[in-house]
Each structure stands twice: as C-alpha cells, then as structure tokens.
Structure 1
Amino acid sequence: MTVLQFAPFSSLVQPAFWHELTSLKIDVLQLSDDSVPINASYALGKSIKDRETGKDIALGCNLTVGGGSFSNDSFQLPPNSVRASGILKNFNTVEDFKASDKTAFFNQVTDEIWETAITKRDPSALTKFLVITFADLKKYKFFYWFAFPAFVSKPAWEILDPGWTNADETFSPDALRSIHQHLQANPTPFFLIKSDGNKAEVGDLEKYQEFFAGVTQSSQAIGFHDPSGLPTNPGWPLRNLLAYLAALYPNITTLRILCWRDAEVPSGNAPWKSRFGTVSLPSPIDKSAARPSAVGWEKNVQGKLGARLADLAPMMDPSRLADQAVDLNLKLMRWRILPALDLDKVSSTKCLLLGAGTLGCYVARVLMGWGVRNITFVDSARVSFSNPVRQPLFEFEDCMDGGKVKAVCAADRLKKIFPGVNAVGHELSVPMPGHPVPPASVDKTKKDIETLEKLIDEHDAIFLLMDSRESRWLPTVVGASKGKIILNSALGFDTYLVMRHGARAKITPAGHQRLGCYYCNDVVAPADSLTDRTLDQMCTVTRPGLASIAAATAVELLVSVIQHPKGLLAPAPKPNTPPEDAASEGGILGMIPHQLRGFLAQFRNVPIVGAAYDKCTGCSETVITAYETQGYEMLEKAFNETGYLEKLTGLDKLYEEATAVMENVDFDEAEGDGDDF
C-alpha cells in the first residue's frame, strides 16, 4: 500500500481581480484592514497529450479568482466548475504585510473551517481559502499570498492496490452518464454515489447515513469535483473531505473514491477521464486534539514558502493607468479628511470656459486636478509669442504661422496631458454691448449667439474668464436664464475678483437672500472699454502669479458650491461672521463666499456679500425676461443702441432722479473773506 499523495492548489489570479481590489481599497476599505469575503472557482482537472512523447501532461490544479470575486451578485461560475469561498485581508503598508502574524490568521481561518464543517455539518466550508495582500496603488504592484488550509491525517490515508484506475473499469458507461447528467445540473464539490456497477444514484454529502442506509460497502462511493489532472494524485479538496468523514463517522476505515474529471461524455470508445480508487486508514485517527493540524500556504515561483508579486503596470493601458492615478489623490481625501466628499458630482460636472487665456489655462488645469472630465473652451484669439510663458497650455511652436486657435489648441493640450479628459475648443466671438453689429455680420453674429446658447445649455458651470468687462454680459444673461452656475474671475495689477453669480429671482425661494452678479453694483450698462485705448489699457497688465491664484480660487469655489446640498442656492456667510463660524456654516469644504477680493500687495483676501439689484443690466428679471421673449431683437438693441439697457431696466430714470436731487440741494458757502485753500 502507498501513502495517499495530493496535488496542491495553485492560485490563478486574473488581472481584473487586482482592478477590483484597487476599487475596493480606495472606495470601501480605505484605511480599514478588516477581512472581506471573496469567491473563487476551480474546474475539473485536465491533461493534454504531448505530441512528441504521446504522454499525458497534467495542467495546473488551479483555484481562480477574478473581477467578480468580491461580489456574490457579479460572481459567475464558469462551466464545469464549483465555487469556493475565501477570506481576503489587505494590509495598509508593505511593512504590515511582511510583519503580520500569518500563523495566527491561518489558524483562525482553519478553526472556522473545522467549526463550520464538523460542528455545523456544512461541507461547503471544506474548500475555504484565505489570501493576504498589500496593494501599492501608485506603482500598481500587488503582493499576495494564498493559503488553502488542509487537515493533516494521523495516520495518513493509504491507497489500496491496484491504486488509481480509470472510472470506467469500475462503473458502467450508463452509470457514469447518469453521474455526469446529475453534476451538470447540480455542480457540487462533494457528492455520494450508490451503484451496482450498471447504474448509479447521486446524493448529497450531508445525508451520508440516510443515503447509504442498507447499502453494502461495495456499492458505496464518495465523489468529489477533482481539479487535478495527475493520474495518481487527486486534488487538494480530497484531504479535507477525508478529514470530514473520519471525524463524523469514526468507524470508517475504508472508502471508495471517485475523482470526477469528465466535463463531457467521451465520444466513441474513448475512455473516461475520471479516476477511481480505494483508500484506507491503517489505524484509527488520533482524537486527542480538538482539531487536526493543518497545512496549506502556497509556495512562490521559486518553490519556497513566501509571497508572490503581481506587477500590473507593464500590461496596463497607459490611458487607464492615468485615469486611475488622476482620481487617486482625490479619493485619498475621503479616507481621513473628507469622508462625505462626493467626487462623482465633481467629475460629472461639465464646465464651459469662456476665455482660453491665462485664466482659462489655469482654471482648466485645476479642474482636471479635481477630476473634472468634461471641459470646453471658447475663445476667438490665436496663440501669440507673449502667451506660452504665462499660459501653461501653450508652447512656442503653437505661436508659429500666425498662431493656433487658442480654444482648439488648449483642448488638444489637455488631452495630451490626460487622455481621459473630454476637451473641446470652439473659435467663437462673443457679441458685446457697445460694439455695434454691422449689417454684413448679422448672420455670423446670430450663429455665434446660437452656438453660445447651445454650449451654455449643455454645460453645468460657466466660467467667465475674458479680458473685457462687456464680453461677460451675454453669457451672464444666458446663464441666468438657464439656471447655470456662473463663476466670474477678473484681474487687476495686484488685485483680483472671484465671484459666483446668484440665481435669478424667479427661482430664488422666498426669504432667501439673492446674490448679485458681476453687474449688480453698476449704475450704467457695460459699454465699449477697448476702443481708443492704449496697449496697456487693452491688455490685462497683472503680476504673473495673480492669475493662477485667482483661477485656483474660482475652481475651489465651484467645487464648494457643487458639494453644498443647495448648490446654486448655497447661502453666503453673513458680513462680519468670524471665519471659523463661516466655515462651519458652509459646506463640507468650508465657507462658500459670494465674492472674494484678493490684494496681492497685502497678501490678503476679503470675502464680500453683494445683494442682487432689481435694476441690474445683467441678471434682473426685466433683462432676462426681455431676452427670453424677444431673443435676438433684444440682444441687437443691447449691442447697437447706447442707453438701451439703462432704459430697459430703469437706470436712466434713477440717474435723472439723482441728478435732479443734486441740483436742488443748497450748499452753504463758507464764511470769511479769504480762501480756505
């Protein structure tokens, strides 16, 4: 007689498993090292014939985990396979992984297997496995070590002569076909067989005594789903099956074993692949221990007990690597600092940047840093030689041959920086009040307005980042009409303004303070600020570092608004509110100001709240309603007719009344003979 030898399991980890572990670590586990349940499968053992020698070569005895292993709902059992349950424990650092008490973890899981299988009579626990991991999410390297706990029999089981034989030497073809038919309909790791040689009946392992009641031992057999393809070494699951039977039925000394390996019924006269043999115990099992000792840690590729390494970086699509890496820093914020941060809200926000200059370039870069995937540029200018040093999306070559279109060039550069961004550029002139539209340009102007309206309608947040004051008027009106979040940023030499426009009066709840827009403090309508100006007056002359500060502030303000449950209607802190109180009353990212005025010379920011003005030429209901009802006719008047917007909103009468009051004021002349100066 020969001591029974088993083919150990080998782990087969599909790349999708590591992708799912990455998501689980970042989004669910975060800093937790709690164990999580996983699923695996193992198939029937296979062998292939060597063409040169004609000998059968057994394939691996594999236990496979994949992308669906972490969820019972998404786990799909491959054909001719059975399920195995497991436990995964992921460590936060490689040092913790190396220093972990692996013996204690192994014994804990082994105790659970024994308790479930023997005490609770549940044989499904016999194939339970465990795996410890460390995921280096920056380099996409994964350290892992599988264990397949198997109980040690003392004394060892032996295989009786003549050893393992083909199953069709013991069972008839009809009996084997009936077993195959049953297992195809009910795949199970372990099963019982009673057969007289010509026919067979299959039963559940849990009903051992009832199923074999009155059946002679020569007609009994124990079957299992055998992952081994070796002719004389059954698969690892048989070890625990034998321990299970010996513990529950101490009188057992001999067992007839069917190692089931037939995924299909053989054709013609081909032999069945399943193996059959009889095993026995030379003496009774030692019952002194609470449970038998166990082995099962997998050896690495060097054949030693130790962890393995999966390096996914070389085999991953660089675009996918970049996509996951972009979000990594953002998701890490939620681990310790901002658990309530909703990154999906940010990444799904579609942003329209009106202006692809210094502010536009910096705004786009910070938006990408926040994980925004949809960015659209609008600009009518081309890249000039003065741009690349101040506008980080342009290079020297973009200035050649008259310069590339700024909006298109900026969008292309974003996609080079991060292929996962959906960036588009539109060359478009925004019509402006105080800039009359010549008759020959009416059609083009109408088309530009239609394009701008469509773009604003398709996006969630609109950034006004233009050079001139009047160019911000039309998108202010259109954005207010469509209920969009509008962010305004403007630069001085060493000062800047960042503000969010409030919602229009029509959608502002009663009792809610309506915040003003860019034009609410003006008593005159926007007009031509570019004609007959010197070069320094037409260009934005500003300190080089100011634009990046203002741009980043504008994006951070947008994200704060998005994270607030009221969104566009998020209230601004009241004046004179201490900063710490304003932060606590704001959203999860702190206070959400209406306006921020920065003074670089003093390195100081001043939050300001500006109420909306019912005679505003940009956001008043009078202007918005006129735009919605009259369309281009109203806009054409605003572009061509001086004083139209003042007359529409009533600012002209306000000015006349103020002038009349001033004319009727009596000023007392100073007493004395001499001059006071």
Structure 2
Amino acid sequence: MPIVQFTPFSSLVQPAFWHALTDLKIDVLRLSDEAIPVHGSYSAGRSVKDRESGAEIALGCNLSVGGESFSKEDKAPAHSVSATGVFKNYNTIEEFKAADKTALFAQVSDEIWKSITVDRSTAQLSRFLLITFADLKKYKYYYWFAFPAFAAKPAWEIQGDWKGASDEFSDTFLSAIESAQLASPRAFFLVRPKAGSDEPELAPVEEYDTFFANVNPVERTIAFLDPSAAPGNPGWPLRNLLTYLAALHPATSHRVLCWRDAERPAGAPFKSRFGVVSQGAGTGEAASTEKPAAVGWEKNVQGKLGPRVADLAPMMDPTRLADQAVDLNLKLMRWRILPALDLEKVASTRCLLLGAGTLGCYVARTLMGWGVRTITLVDSARVSFSNPVRQPLFEFEDCLDGGKPKAACAAERLKKIFPGVNASGHSLSIPMPGHPIPPASVAQARADVEKLEKLVDEHDAVFLLMDSRESRWLPTVLGAAKGKVVLNAALGFDTFLVMRHGVRAALAKGDRLGCYYCNDIVAPADSLTDRTLDQMCTVTRPGLAAIAASTAVELLVSLLQHPDGINAPAPPPQSQGGDAAPGSEGVLGIVPHQLRGFLAQFRNMPIKGAAYDRCTGCSETIIKAYETDGFDMLLKAFNEPGFLEVLTGLDKLYDEGEAALEAVGWEEEDGEDDF
C-alpha cells in the first residue's frame, strides 16, 4: 500500500506580528532571551481554481501568527483552531546563528510526547517552535519555525487512496459535522453515527475508550481540521494525531476524516477527504513507550533547511517607521539604566510654549527628543532674517515677503521633522501690565485673553519663553490659578535662569515655592519702550539658549518622573544629587526649584526660593482677584500703574520702608575735625 505523504506546515507571518515583536522586544524582553509562550492558528485547507485550466490549485498548509500572538488570551480567528508554541528571541545575529537548535527542537518534541503519554491530551499535538533575531535599526527580522512531528516506524500506509468524504458519508451526515465545526471548531475529534439516525455524534479524542465502546470499528472515525488542500496529502497535524493513537489506542487501522469544509459556499460539494490508514507489521500490539524520532524544521524560500528573513523597511509606512524610531533611544534607557522610567507619562504631557523664538525652537526640539507628542506654540512675531541661524525651526525662505508667522511656521516645521507630532501654532499678542489698552482694542484684548485661557486649560505644562519681563505676568497668573506646571526660562548675556513655579496646593503646608515675580518688590512694567538696538534684541552667547532650553525640558521631565509630580519638593540649594534631602529625588535625580547657569564659569547653581505673600504674580490676593473679577481685574492691571502694588499691599511696604528711613537719626560730621 502507498505510504501516507503529509503536507508540512508553512509559516504565515502577518506584518502585525513583527510590530508586536518590536514592542515586546523594546518594552518587555529588552535584553532577555528567555523562552516565552506564543500562539498561532490554522484553518481548513483552501484551494483556488485556475482560470485557464479550471484545475483546483491547493494553497499552502499554513500556520499563522499575527499581532495578537503574544497576548495572554489564546483566541483563534473565526473558523480556525489555536496552536501553542515556544518563542525565543536572540539579542545578536551571532547568537541566533549559534543557537543550539537541536536542543531547542528536542525540548519541544519532549513536551509533545509528554502531553501524549502522561497527560493523554491532544492539546499540544500542533505545538511549534519559533526563534528570531530582530534587527530593529534596519527593520529586518530573521526567523526560523519548527513544527515537530513524530516519524512512525513502520510508516503509515493508505488503503487504496484518499477519496472525497461524500463517497463515504451522506451529505446530511457531513452537514451536521459542518454545523458543529462552524459553531465551535475543533482541531481533533471523534465521529460515530447516532443510533437510528443519519446524523453524527462528536466527541474529543481524549474520550476514545468511552465514546467508541461497543461501536463497530467500521463506524469509528478519527477526524481533524486539515490545513492541507492537496487531494492526496493530509496536513501535518495528522502525523502527531496518529502517533497519539498508536501510543494510546493501537489498532489494526484507523478511519480518518480530513475536515476541510470551514467556509463552504451554499450548495457547493464537500471538499473534505476520507481514507483508511494502517501502520503495517506490528499494528495492534502494545505500543512502545520510547519517544519516536521527530522532524519538522521549516525550509527557507530556496527549499533548504535554514532561517528566513522579513525585511519590512521597504513596505512600511515611513510615518510608522519614524514613530517607532524616534522612541528607540528613550526605550533603550529603560533596558539597563532606568527601568522605572515612565515614558508614557512624558509622551502624553501636552506642552504649551509661549514664545517661538530661540528658546521656543530649542525647547520644542528637546521635547520631541523626549517623545512628547503634543506641542503648541504661541507667538505674535514673524520670522526675520536674523532668526534662522539661531532658531533651528526656521529657514531662509521663511523670512521672505515679510516673514511667515513664527508660531505657525515652527509648528509646520515640527511636523516635517516628525509627522507623528501633534503640533500647532497660534499668532497671539499677550496683554501686559504697563502697556495700556486703548478703548478700541479692549474687545481684541478680551478675545486674546480668552484664547490664552483656553490654551492653558487644554495643556498640562506651560513654558514661559518670551523676551520681556512683563509678558510673563498673565501666563503666570493663569498657570497658578489653574494648577498647571509652569516653567520659566530667561537669558542674560552669559547667564540663564530656569525655574518651575510653585503650586497653590502647597500653600496650606507653608512650603510653596516662588514664581518668577516672588523676589521682586515692584510690579512688572513697560520694559520695551525707548530701547536701543542691543536692548531690543536678546544679546547672548550663541550656545546659551540651547543650554537653557534643554535644562528647562529636563526639569519638566524630572518633575514628571518624581513620585509627587507637580508637588515634588525642592532639595536644599547646596544639594547636588548625592546629598539631596529625603524624598526630593525622583527617577532622574533631584528636581530643583531654580537653576542659574553661568557660562563664563561653566557652572550651574541650584536655588530654592519661597513664595511671597505679596507677589504680584502668584499670591492668593492676585489669584482670588482674577478668579472673582476675571478680565476686568486683568484690564486694570494692564492699564492702571500701581494697581498691582495696591492690590497686593506692596505700596504699604514702600511706605513702611520710607517711614523707617525717616526715623533713622542721620548725623553729619565735620570733616575738618579728622585732620
């Protein structure tokens, strides 16, 4: 009799599998090469009809893995059954090539044999092995599948030939099996005719002894979901099913139904196959408990035993490539250096940048480097010819025809650098104390304030990056009132200040940190009128802005990583990390209140300053007045000199100071007496 020829499994890897592997490698496995479980699935074999010849062409006997293959939930697609496997990823191509593949294969085949002889279960009969190396820089994935199957000695033979299932069973009988398989697909099952009926009864293979008790051998049928569509070659799962039967239920022969009708069109003939197989001499005797030899490594596209490679770079969406690549450096930080780093918190932080000049451009670039996905810029100016060399989001063409609006131009450039960023720009003038608003412009000022309030509400962190002192006042008040993270950066010639504003929530504890105005005893006023050219431009050493901007972003990230977040305590001024106060350090180290940098000495000095109860920017008096009177209070601050001093009581402080000076008795000495 002819020897049964089985159609081997072929791997079918969905592109989503490689994306899932990329995420798994970066976020979970990192440098681990431990074996982990993986899930695959297969369905009934399919064939297509050749348009010219009309012949049926069998498609591959596929076992598929996809994006859900690493999930804990083992759920197969519709009309499919699940197969469990072992996955092992190597860190280098050299380790992948040098892997002890024989030992790995033997381990999986041992697990299959144990499930047969000890567990007496069919659950592991289609178990597989997958080893990989993921080159994440080039998006190349080297992989090799193995589908261990036991070799029978003597080989299985087919009595006559495989024939259509309709030649053995009635359509009513097969239709009943079809309905059961559509409702709940089974990889392996038993079939017997129902007494006094032309319908079948089905049961798991594990119930062989009880289900087939007192059933005539010619009415006992072993069935399996056959992934092969070849007329004369059953699929790979039958090999281990026959091994299971030979080990636990040896018989002279087995009636086998290769079930292939998972999605049969209405009225179409059944494609399932039927045959009777036997094992030659020795069949029917007690089976040996020794594990048979196993085969099953998949051949590559050249038909040789060897790994395959999937090169996704040419067919991947460049935007998707960029999205994965920009975060690679960040995720590598967590592998060995900072496992506790919460990158999702950074990426989801919505940042509002008030000022799209030198500081704004560098802050935006550094935020993108940290993976921040939402960046909004606000500026009222246009790009000038002096900007592109110092402000890295602008080019020469942006200066022509009067210059493009800075905020919108910078946002568009961010999206060109990385399409995955949600960047937007708004041309907006921020009203300022000391700059009176004419009656005709009050409506526009009100609209500008409302727009700024809305932007602050929609963001988590606000960067003050403007080039005047008074332009920072309104955002300081809004940030304090709305409980936002506010970071300030200001430049001198070779010095800079970076600070975070204190939050209102810390007021009750008495340890609220100060804001930009807390060290001043004068309210912000007009600093822009009657300025010389060097005063109109921010004259700094060229490298200073990049240092200050990067420091501001790093301060934000350190704050986000601290367990107390926006309420993180500032370390004492002398702390440099090693001697920080308990509780003041986060994952990235200390979270200072202020940093003053001195480029002439190449040093930074941390400073801690308490909030001032008469501050014109963040005191409770100012915040409550804003919350009570809204724009009317702000309008007075813009238009009325001395309003903020009177509101906060600074005017009384001046009077007390003058009175103290007058109370001092000054004595004039005659200088001639000294000679």
Q: TM-score, normalised by structure 2?
A: 0.96
State the partner residue of 1:86: 85
Deviations along 1:548-584, one digit per CA (max 9) or x if unpaired, are 0000000000111111222221110023335312287
Residue 293 of structure 1 and its aligned partner are, at CA, apart by: 1.1
What aligned pairs does 1:155-554 form with structure 2 within 5 A after superposition? 155-160=154-159, 162-195=160-193, 198-250=198-250, 252-263=251-262, 271-284=269-282, 290-504=290-504, 507-508=505-506, 510-554=508-552
Aligned-partner residue type, residue 192 of structure 2: K
* Cα gap change, 1:487 to 1:233, in 2 (>3 Å): same
- Once the two structures are superposed, residues 85-136 of structure 1 have per-residue CA deviations (whole angstroms, 9 ceiling, x without a partner) of 1121111222211111111111111111111222111111101111111112
Distance in 1 (alpha carbons) for counterparts of 2:10 and 2:497:
63
One-letter identity of the residue aligned with 1:52: E
Do 1:583 and 1:591's aligned partners in 2 also have CA atoms closer than 8 Å?
Answer: no
CA distance in 1, matches of 2:673, 2:393: 65
Q: Deviations over 1:491-541 (max 9, x none)?
A: 00000000000012xx22533411000011111111111111111112110
Q: Deviations over 1:611-661 (max 9, x none)?
A: 111111111111111112122222222112222211111111111211221
Partner of 1:579: 577
SS of equivalent residue, structure 2 residue 579:
helix
SS in 1 for 2:147: strand
* Distance across 1 between alignment mates of 2:15 and 2:425: 37
Once the two structures are TM-superposed, the CA of residue 254 in structure 1 deviates from its matched residue by 1.4
Structure 2 Cα separation of the partners of residues 317 and 249 of structure 1: 53
Bigger mean CA deviation after superposition, 399-408 or 26-35: 26-35
| Distance in 2 of aligned mates of 1:442 and 1:200 | 86
Q: How far apart, in 2, do the equivalents of 1:582 and 1:553 lie? A: 19
Output the TM-score relative to the length of structure 1. Answer: 0.96
Q: Aligned partner of 2:616: which letter?
A: T
Q: SS of 2:327's equivalent? A: helix
Counterpart AA for 2:497: L
Where structure 2 has 5 or more consecutive residues not aligned to the other structure, the ranges are none
Q: Which amino acid aligns with 2:113?
A: W
What is the CA distance between 1:253 and its match in structure 2?
2.8
- The alpha-carbon deviation at position 414 of structure 1 amounts to 0.6
CA gap 1:191/1:359 in 2 versus in 1, 3 angstroms:
same
C-alpha contact (below 8 Å) 1:117/1:124 kept by paired residues: no
Secondary structure at 2:224 match in 1:
strand
Amino acid at match of 1:237: P
Note closer, same or farther for the CA distance 1:60–1:660 as it changes in structure 2 (3 Å cut).
same
1:60 Cα deviation from its structure 2 partner: 0.8
Taking the aligned partners of 1:174 and 1:635, their CA distance within structure 2 comes to 84
Q: Distance in 2 between matches of 1:509 and 1:645?
A: 21
Aligned mates of 1:131, 1:655 — CA distance in 2: 79
Partner of 1:136 in structure 2? 135
Aligned length: 670
Contact map agreement 2:248 2:287 (CA 8 A) in 1: no
| Residue type at the aligned position of 2:596 | R
CA distance in 2, matches of 1:675, 1:353: 63
Task: State the alpha-carbon separation in 2 of the partners of residues 141 and 671 from structure 1.
Answer: 92
Write the distance in 2 (CA, Å) between the matches of 1:577 and 1:264.
Answer: 71
Task: Tell me if structure 1 keeps the 8 A contact 2:572–2:581.
Answer: no
RMSD: 1.9
Q: Residues of 2 paired with 1:50 and 1:658: CA distance?
A: 100
Match of 1:19 in 2: 19
How far apart, in 1, do the equivalents of 2:503 and 2:315 lie?
A: 49
1:20 alignment partner, SS class: helix
Structure 1: gaps of 5 or more residues: none
Contact 2:434 2:525 in 1 (8 A): yes
Deviations 1:425-468 (A, max 9, x none): 11111111111112221111111111111111111111100111
The answer to whether the Cα contact below 8 Å between 1:583 and 1:590 also exists between their aligned partners in 2 is no
Cα separation, 1, equivalents of 2:277 and 2:496: 86
Give deviations 1:236-291, integer Å, cap 9, x for gaps: 001001111111124x23111111112356765x6431111111112237966731
Report if the CA contact (8 A) 2:415-2:422 is conserved: yes
Quote the residue 2:624 is aligned against: 625
Confirm or deny: 8 A CA contact 1:622 1:648 kept in the other structure.
yes
Distance 1:451 1:312 in 2: 44
DSSP 3-state at the match of 1:306: coil
The alpha-carbon distance between structure 1 residues 341 and 444, as it changes in their structure 2 partners (threshold 3 A), is same
Alpha carbons 1:166, 1:271 under 8 Å: kept: no
After superposition, where does 1:37-76 map in structure 2 within 5 Å?
A: 37-73=37-73, 76=75
Asked if the contact 2:79–2:185 (Cα under 8 Å) also holds between the matched residues in 1, the reply is: yes
In structure 2, what residue type is equivalent to 1:411? A
Give the secondary-structure state (helix, strand or coil) at the position aligned to 1:415: helix
> In the alignment, which residue of structure 1 is the partner of 2:661?
662
Which position in structure 1 is the counterpart of 2:649?
Answer: 650
**Take 2:54 and 2:462, find their aligned partners in 1: how far apart are those partners?**
72
Deviation at 1:65, TM superposition (A): 1.1
Give the residue type in structure 1 aligned to 2:559.
V
Contact 1:494 1:542 in 2 (8 A): yes
Residue 95, structure 1, aligned to residue 94, structure 2: yes
**CA pair 490-227 structure 1, distance change in 2 beyond 3 A:** same
Deviation of the 1:417 alpha carbon: 0.7
SS at match of 2:571: coil
Q: Distance in 1 between matches of 2:60 and 2:573?
A: 72
SS in 2 for 1:446: helix
Cα deviations across residues 276-321 of structure 1 (Å, max 9, x unaligned)?
1111112237966731111101000010111111111111111111
Deviations 1:166-197 (A, max 9, x none): 11222222222222222223311111122499
Percent identity (aligned): 69
Read off the aligned partner of 1:465 and give its amino acid letter. Answer: L
Residue 115 of structure 2 is matched in structure 1 by 116
Write the distance in 1 (CA, Å) between the matches of 2:176 and 2:449: 76
In structure 2, the residue matched to 1:33 is 33
Q: Partner of 1:224: helix, strand, or coil? A: strand
With 548-557 and 164-173 compared, the bigger mean Cα shift is at 164-173
For 2:105, the aligned partner's letter is F
Q: Which amino acid aligns with 1:167?
A: A
